[in-house]
Structure formats: structure tokens, C-alpha cells
């Protein structure tokens, strides 16, 4: 039995009373809420990270040819990700050799980012799409998220950058080429 004092009145809570169970439930709910908020809290912007800068190196692999160039775009928000030009923090380019390209972002402020890489085979600086909006050129996304319909979103591709140097591998994928009347076969 517990006695609570409130404005000169005594409230008695018996261990098995409805009131006692309700108070225990409320306290448990509040504790769970606080725990959930504190565990799920993460920095959402570069300003909530410690002050620091570093070099982000993208090691892109899987290029089918050395034609054109590799373009990597660094995004700090979902706005424009993965391919809208003008919305990225920065874009860098590199030549392709032996199916690989090494793209380097220097002086990157610590924060949360996502990267998209394009095999710009025709050198026009933009992703070529078919009439359905599907990619025609090779591309890769940080964290290698699965994407069946449309491009992956920022949340799937984001990572935290807080290092003097970080090497991030990205695999380049190409759209399947299927002609009329052909079906995808499973191995």
C-alpha cells in the first residue's frame, strides 16, 4: 500500500487496484517513449555533427567500358537525390580504367550524405533514360540499396561521414537489355 499526499488529501494506492495499475502503465509508457526517442535520435544535418572535415573517396567498380567518364554527386538532403543537377553539394569526375574509377571529394564537412555515381558514356553530364524513365546508362548508389521500381531514396543510401578519410565502395549496375518478345530467365 502506498500513500500519496496532494493538497492535504491522502490517496491510497493498493498494489492490485485499477488506479495503481494505470499509474504503472503510464509510467512505463513514458519511460518507453523517452527511451525510443533517445535511441532513435540521430544527427540530421551537418550542423549537429562535431566540427570537422575530411576526404571522401569513392571506389566505383563494375564499369563495362572505358568510354566516357565517371561522375559522382554528393547529396546532403533528399532534395534532388539521386540525379538532379543543381541540388547536390558537389560533383566530381574521373576517368575509367580497367572497369574502375576513383573519385575524390576533398574538404567534406562531417555529416550525413548519400552518393550517386553515373557512367556518363556519352559525356553529356546527365543520366540517359528511356521513355518509361528507366536508366539507360550504368549507375551506382552509396550503401548499394535494392531498387525495383524507380531510383532508391535518400534514406536507403545515406551514411555518416566523420573521418579524416573514408573510402566508400560503390558497384555500378547497368540496365538489363531485353528485346521484344524476350523474357527474363532465372538461374
In tens, the pLDDT along 124-165 reads: 877 777 766 677 788 999 999 987 777 788 999 999 999 999
pLDDT at 121 over 50: yes
Beta bridge partners of 13: 2
pLDDT at 2 over 70: no
Under CATH, to which class is 46-171 assigned? mainly beta
Domain ranges of the chain: 2-40, 46-171
Cβ–Cβ < 8 Å for 67, 99: no
SS3 at position 13: strand
Closest CA to 161 of 117, 87, 116, 109: 109
In angstroms, the CA 50 to CA 47 distance is 8
Q: Give the global pTM.
A: 0.68
Query: The C-alpha cell of 14 is what?
Result: 493498493
Amino acid at each position: 500500500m502506498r500513500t500519496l499526499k496532494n493538497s492535504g488529501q491522502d490517496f491510497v494506492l493498493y498494489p492490485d487496484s485499477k488506479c495503481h495499475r494505470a499509474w504503472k502503465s503510464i509510467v512505463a509508457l513514458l519511460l518507453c517513449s523517452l527511451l525510443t526517442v533517445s535511441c532513435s535520435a540521430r544527427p540530421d544535418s551537418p550542423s549537429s555533427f562535431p566540427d570537422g572535415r575530411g576526404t571522401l573517396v569513392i571506389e566505383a567498380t563494375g564499369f563495362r567500358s572505358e568510354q566516357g567518364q565517371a561522375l559522382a554527386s554528393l547529396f546532403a538532403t533528399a532534395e534532388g537525390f539521386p540525379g538532379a543537377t543543381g541540388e547536390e553539394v558537389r560533383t566530381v569526375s574521373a576517368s575509367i580504367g580497367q572497369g574502375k574509377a576513383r573519385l575524390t571529394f576533398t574538404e567534406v564537412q562531417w555529416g550525413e550524405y548519400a552518393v550517386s555515381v553515373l557512367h556518363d558514356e556519352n559525356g553529356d553530364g546527365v543520366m540517359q533514360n528511356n521513355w518509361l524513365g528507366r536508366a539507360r546508362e550504368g549507375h551506382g548508389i552509396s550503401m548499394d540499396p535494392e531498387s525495383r521500381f524507380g531510383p532508391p531514396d535518400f534514406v536507403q543510401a545515406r551514411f555518416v561521414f566523420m573521418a579524416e578519410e573514408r573510402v566508400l565502395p560503390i558497384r555500378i549496375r547497368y540496365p538489363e537489355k531485353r528485346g521484344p518478345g524476350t523474357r527474363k530467365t532465372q538461374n
